[in-house]
Amino acid sequence: MRKVTYERTIPAPLPDVFDWLTDATNFQRVPFVRRVTLVRPGNTTGHGDGAVRLIVTPLLRITEEITEYTPPTLMRYRVLNSVPPLRHQEGYIAFEAVPTGTRVRWNSTFEIASPILPTLCTRLFLPVVRGGFLLVLRTAERELLGG
């Protein structure tokens, strides 16, 4: 398993950043995201606990379930299905108010479930995941700042 962590401070209020990043339909405006579908709404709110979402990009198709939704500080998820196939240990986005806005820490621990050279495949895929986190957070910042 490999861990990808990306941190960014977004100069916007904590509740706004949390709401934007936990509503995956916003991801449709992120470069390279082709489609986002809320497969099943959450138990108490659309993208909250129990929600299942499908996110499609040119390099990754992922179905994930929200396993913990604690506004405005934490969202945990697990991958149910993906192409390429992943073994996913943990994923979360943590939010913290700081003097300059909201610090976001996005973490995912996974490996490519390949019968051939899984360690190499995982290592090669790490920049794709990290780049995806970066694009989502940049888009959130741009939209939250009115750009």
Q: Is residue 47 part of a domain?
A: no
Note down the domain range covering 125.
2-32+71-144
**Measured CA angle at 134 (ends 48, 34), to 5 deg:** 65
Q: Is residue 132 part of a domain?
A: yes
CATH classification at residue 118: 3.30.530.20
Q: How many CB atoms lie within 10 A of CB 47?
A: 20
Tell me, yes or no, if the pTM score tops 0.85.
yes
Average pLDDT rounded to a whole number, residues 84-91: 92
Q: Is residue 115 part of a domain?
A: yes
Q: Is residue 139 part of a domain?
A: yes
Q: Is residue 127 part of a domain?
A: yes
Q: Is residue 64 part of a domain?
A: no
Q: Is residue 38 part of a domain?
A: no
CA 101 to chain CA centroid, Å, is 20
38-81 confidence digits (pLDDT tens): 999 999 888 999 999 999 999 999 999 999 999 999 999 999 99
> Per the structure, how many domains does the chain have?
1
Q: Is residue 134 part of a domain?
A: yes
